[in-house]
Every structure is written in C-alpha cells, then in structure tokens.
Structure 1
Amino acid sequence: MNYHSIRHEIVTELEIKKSRFITWVSPICSQAEAEQIIAAARQRWPGATHYCFAWIIKEPVMERCSDDGEPSGTAGLPILTTLKKRGLENIVAVVVRYFGGTLLGASGLIRAYADSVRNALDQADIVKYEEGLLIRLVIEYPDLGLIQHRFLFSPEVVVESINY
C-alpha cells in the first residue's frame, strides 16, 4: 500500500476580496478521523460562514466533499480535485470561510477554494508512505557476515538498528 500524503497537519490563511479562507490539511487513516478534523474546525473557528471540505482515504477507497452551503460544485469539488491532482491520499482538507462582504461568483469561489488548498499543500511536507514488513533477527555472530551480505546491504532493506 504505497501512497503520498503529508507528514503533519498544516494551517494557512488567504484573504481574497476581504473574505478569509483558513485551510487546515491533515493526514488521516479513516473516515472517523476526517469527521473529527471537520468537527474540530467548526469548534476552532466558530461563526464562520462555511466549512467546506474534502477527504480521500486509500483503503478502503473512499472520498467525500462538501460545499457546506456554497453554490453546488464551487467549494468541495475544487478542494477534492486539488488533492487528487497532487496525487495525495489519506488526507483531509477543510477550508473555513469568513465572508467579507463581496460576492466572488462561481468561478471566483472555485478559484479561491482551490488556491487555498494549493497554498497549504505548497507549505506542507509531502511524503511517500511505503508498505513494509518489520523483521527482528536474532543471529549468532558467525552468521553476521552472511546476513549483512545477503540482506542488510540491499537497497530494499532499511535497517532500524543493530545491537551486538
């Protein structure tokens, strides 16, 4: 199960025509985690006009997005599309909008939500997660050379520690 995601959560903010767009992206492993982040955003930034989001989970494959009252297709889908274009999985992005008094129009909203997520991802540490197997070997000293030669010096093997 190899995939790309972000190492740590990140929060960024953009102001577009006096509207504040606060973006919170976070790595997740389940739908429950995504829902917790979305609920936490509502508590962390109370009184916002919209809490739009998208999330993608690798296994089982699931994705969701929400416009949260913005015109259909102008918030959640641009957020989701931005995550997909970056090839990211096991991630949630919540964009909190405080309306600034100026209507942005459909194309302006699409651009604003996508730009907000792009801005956050540009500042995030993108990492590749690779499925692996943790093996603990206990061997006799005379066998050490053989094990090192066959396994430990292979580029596919990552040695966490060696204790003598």
Structure 2
Amino acid sequence: MEQSYRTILKYAQAEFVERKSRFIGSIQPCRTEEEALSFLNEKRKEYWDATHNVYAYVLREGGIKRCSDDGEPQGTAGRPVLDVLEKEGIVDVCVVATRYFGGIMLGAGGLVRAYSHTSKIAVDAAQIMNMCVCGHYRMVFDYGLYGKLGYLFPNYPLRILSTDFGEQVSIDLVIRTEAEQEFLKAVTELTNGQISPQRTGESFEDIP
C-alpha cells in the first residue's frame, strides 16, 4: 500500500489573457473517470460558447491519465495541461482549460505555454493536500487523565476527530502511522498503563 500522495482539497479557478485570448483554468477533485467526465460536461455547459474546452485528469486508482486538445493542434493543449499535473505530482484531479479566441494566432509554442500556464494557475489556486496513511484510535479514560493527555497531543502528528464527555472521556483521533508506536508508548508511560488506545482502522488524511 502506498504511504502518501498529493491531491487538492476543493474546486478552484483562475484565468488570464494572452494576446486577447481569454484562458480559464478550472480544477476539481475527482476519484473516478465518471466524476472527471461529469466535471468536464459541467464546464462545457457553463462555457458553451468558448472556442475550446481542453481537459486533462489524473486518477490514483489504476494510474489513469487522460487528456484532450479539443480541436487545438495536436499536442499543444491537453498534453501541456496534463504535464503540469504530472510535474506537480497531484492525482485524483481534473483540469478544464477553457479558451475564448481573441483573434490573434498564438502558434504551437504559444499555445503550449498558454495552456501550461492555465493549468499551473489553476493548481496554484487550489489548496494542495499531502495525504498520508493514518491510524484511527479510540481512547476511553477517566476525567483525571484528561489534563495530562492535553499536554501530550500537540507533540504528535495527529488530529482529534471527536471528544465525548460522558461517564468517562472518549476521544477519537487519527495519527500518522510512522508516529503510532511512539505515541502509544508515551500514552502508556504518561498514564501508567491506565489507557489502552484501540485501533479502529486507517485511512489517508492530510496531517502535517
């Protein structure tokens, strides 16, 4: 199982003008081809009057990569958009690069630069997430130990998901797998073995 990957948090958009042609870069998280194509169709409807709606997407599952020039000269549009995604190392993402032709031909080199820039500014506008494998844990303990643990948590790459104050305190958290053993040892030592965190699963999370 891979231990980490890069993706984006949410939809973003950016645009610029190159020699009177308007370029709009729209970027969206997607995990399947169906989601990527749905996003593409959404943008085609939104920009139905555009000259071109070039696209590229990269999916983690199956290592799928697709791109289209959408009528631009072969290799001058879709591939440059895809190249940016590969260079940035992000997956589970789709970029639609929309162009409104401004009447001035850009030439093959100009198109490559323009579409590369469209993809790059869209990526830059998005919030990049560095996803890593994390273990899920549940901890149940007496109130008297809550203060001690409060000093421990900030020292580890973890996130508190929920805290329930009932007859006892119950905390659900996720922690990067490489820090699990050290964290569990610290909990045991700090509480003299009074807490036995239960591992409930694992998932990819964005935890620094």
Residue 57 of structure 2 corresponds to 55
Q: Does 2:75 correspond to 1:78?
A: no
Structure with more contact order per residue of length (Cα contacts < 8 Å, sep ≥ 6): 1
What is the rounded CA distance, in whole Å, between the counterparts of 1:11 and 1:153 in structure 2?
A: 35
1:107 to 106, 109, 127: 109
Displacement after TM superposition at 1:160 (Å): 2.1
Any idea what SS the aligned residue of 1:102 has? coil
What is the rounded CA distance, in whole Å, between the counterparts of 2:141 and 2:28 in structure 1?
A: 44
What is the rounded CA distance, in whole Å, between the counterparts of 2:13 and 2:125 in structure 1?
A: 9
Q: Does 2:124 correspond to 1:122?
A: yes
Residue 158 of structure 1 corresponds to 159
Larger radius of gyration: 2
Any idea what SS the aligned residue of 1:103 has? coil
TM-score by length of 1: 0.86
Alignment size in residue pairs: 161
Segments of 5+ residues of structure 1 without an aligned counterpart are: none
What is the rounded CA distance, in whole Å, between the counterparts of 1:153 and 1:19 in structure 2?
A: 50
Any idea what SS the aligned residue of 2:48 has? coil
Q: Deviation per CA, 1:79-122, whole angstroms, max 9, x where unpaired?
A: 00011111111111000111111111100000000011112222
What is the rounded CA distance, in whole Å, between the counterparts of 2:36 and 2:14 in structure 1?
A: 18
Residue 96 of structure 1 corresponds to 98
Taking only the aligned residue pairs, the percentage that are identical comes to: 35
Displacement after TM superposition at 1:12 (Å): 1.3
What is the rounded CA distance, in whole Å, between the counterparts of 2:33 and 2:109 in structure 1?
A: 29
Displacement after TM superposition at 1:47 (Å): 1.4
What is the rounded CA distance, in whole Å, between the counterparts of 2:41 and 2:133 in structure 1?
A: 30
Displacement after TM superposition at 1:6 (Å): 1.5
CA RMSD of aligned residues (A): 2.4
What is the rounded CA distance, in whole Å, between the counterparts of 1:97 and 1:153 in structure 2?
A: 47
Q: Does 2:13 correspond to 1:11?
A: yes
What is the rounded CA distance, in whole Å, between the counterparts of 1:53 and 1:130 in structure 2?
A: 27
Displacement after TM superposition at 1:130 (Å): 2.1
Segments of 5+ residues of structure 2 without an aligned counterpart are: 170-208
2:134 to 104, 123, 132: 132
What is the rounded CA distance, in whole Å, between the counterparts of 2:158 and 2:23 in structure 1?
A: 43
Does the CA contact (< 8 Å) of 2:15 and 2:23 recur in 1? yes
Displacement after TM superposition at 1:153 (Å): 7.4
Displacement after TM superposition at 1:32 (Å): 0.7
Residue 71 of structure 2 corresponds to 69
